[in-house]
Amino acid sequence: MTDRTVLTIDTATPAVIAGVVRRGADGRIDTLAERISVDARAHAELLTPNIVAAVADCGLTLDEIEAVVVGCGPGPFTGLRVGMATAAAYGHALGVPVYGVCSLDAIGVRTTGEVLVVTDARRREVYWACYRDGIRCDGPAVAAAADVPTGAAERVAGSPTHCALFDLPQIGPQRPSPDGLVAAVAAWRPDPDPLVPLYLRRPDAKTLAERGR
Whole-number pLDDT of residue 1: 62
Alpha-helical runs (H) found in 34-159: 43-57, 77-94, 105-108
User: Identity (one letter) of the amino acid at 176?
Assistant: P
H-run or E-run covering 131: strand 125-132
Q: What is the pLDDT of residue 201?
A: 76
Q: At what angle do helices 77-94 and 43-57 cross, to 10 degrees?
A: 40
Question: Hey, what long-range contacts does 201-204 have (CB within 8 A, 24 or more apart)?
Answer: 201/121, 201/142, 203/77, 204/77
Predicted local distance difference test score (pLDDT) of residue 2: 78
Asked whether 199 and 183 are in contact (CB, 8 A), the reply is: no
Q: Strand 67-71: give its sheet, edge to edge.
A: 29-38, 15-23, 4-10, 67-71, 98-101
Nearest residue to 140 (alpha-carbon basis) of 157, 123, 121, 127: 127
pLDDT of residue 106: 98
Low-confidence ranges of the chain (pLDDT < 50): 204-211
**List of domains in the chain:** 4-103+176-183 (3.30.420.40), 108-171 (no CATH)
User: What integer pLDDT is reported at residue 88 of this predicted model?
Assistant: 98
| Biggest CA pair distance of the chain | 56
Between CA 117 and CA 136 the distance in angstroms is 10
